Amino acid sequence: MSLRVMVEGQVILIIDADRYSYSALGSALESAGYRVIFAVGRQEGLDQFAQCRPALVVLDVAVPQGWDTLRQVRSRSETPILILTSLTSETEQLTALEAGGADGYMTKPFSPKVAVARITAILRRAGRARLLPAIGPLKLGETAGEVKLDGRAILVTEREFVLLEVLVTNPGYVLSRRELLARCWGPGFNGTDRVVDVHLASLRRKLGKYRKLILTVRGVGYKYIPDRV
């Protein structure tokens, strides 16, 4: 069953200062099967939120009273919220996530494809979407080991699937070997973090010409770049 069928009718509410700033994001979301509603400013955003009951809210906190809008939405519902922000300091970002109640953030500028992947990952964690979108040629299913490239199934081990899932659900973000080890092998694992390199090398071989989707960040770790084909 395709992602389009799974998310058909799910509404994404985008709250911004005007209706045109995120037209590319709106188009990318609609291509993935979502319905998109735009709202201009705080009051229209809150009104639309009450009327359309979205599956997720995308909020640009640069709008007037943007932070108050975030608090108002969170006080009314547990609906997932993705913040778009120009904030760069870790302290400000943690404030947005912890004090503001956001479920994630993206710094501007950003790729619409990466944003769609992030939105679907948030919905998936919230239990509102069962499949990841097709990101370029790659698609993950809800069952471990279910990976398709250009519609063709490839066989991966359970560990490779978990590694791929962690990378894909954090598109554009560098994940260290230590973090990947903790998330994919668990705290009881006694081996070295180089086991991550071994498994990713195997996974890349299986991805073939799409191996460049997973980028090595020298001396740090790895990140998934959906546009890098």
| CATH code for position 14 | 3.40.50.2300
- 118 and 148 assigned to the same domain: no
- 121 and 176 assigned to the same domain: no
The last residue of one of the domains, among 77, 93, 125, is: 125
Tens place of pLDDT per residue across the chain (229 aa): 334 434 445 899 999 987 778 889 999 898 888 889 999 999 999 999 988 889 999 998 888 888 888 888 888 888 899 988 776 666 666 666 665 677 878 888 888 888 888 888 788 777 654 445 555 677 776 555 678 887 788 888 878 888 887 888 777 888 888 888 877 876 667 778 889 999 999 999 999 888 998 999 988 899 988 776 6
Q: Domain count of the chain?
A: 2
Is position 110 within any domain?
A: yes
- 157 and 113 assigned to the same domain: no
Is position 8 within any domain?
A: yes
Q: What tokens were used for 136? A: 């370029």
Give the pLDDT of residue 2.
39
What residues make up the domain containing 219?
138-224
Is position 130 within any domain?
A: no
Nearest-angstrom CA–CA distance, 215 and 227: 11
Q: For the whole model, what pTM was predicted?
A: 0.55
Give the pLDDT of residue 19.
75
- 9 and 108 assigned to the same domain: yes
Is position 182 within any domain?
A: yes
The last residue of one of the domains, among 97, 125, 153, is: 125
- 28 and 99 assigned to the same domain: yes
- 20 and 118 assigned to the same domain: yes
Give the pLDDT of residue 3.
43
- 21 and 104 assigned to the same domain: yes
The last residue of one of the domains, among 77, 100, 125, is: 125
CATH number of the domain where residue 201 is located? 1.10.10.10
- 159 and 98 assigned to the same domain: no
Give the pLDDT of residue 21.
81
- 41 and 83 assigned to the same domain: yes
- 16 and 57 assigned to the same domain: yes
- 104 and 154 assigned to the same domain: no
Is position 132 within any domain?
A: no
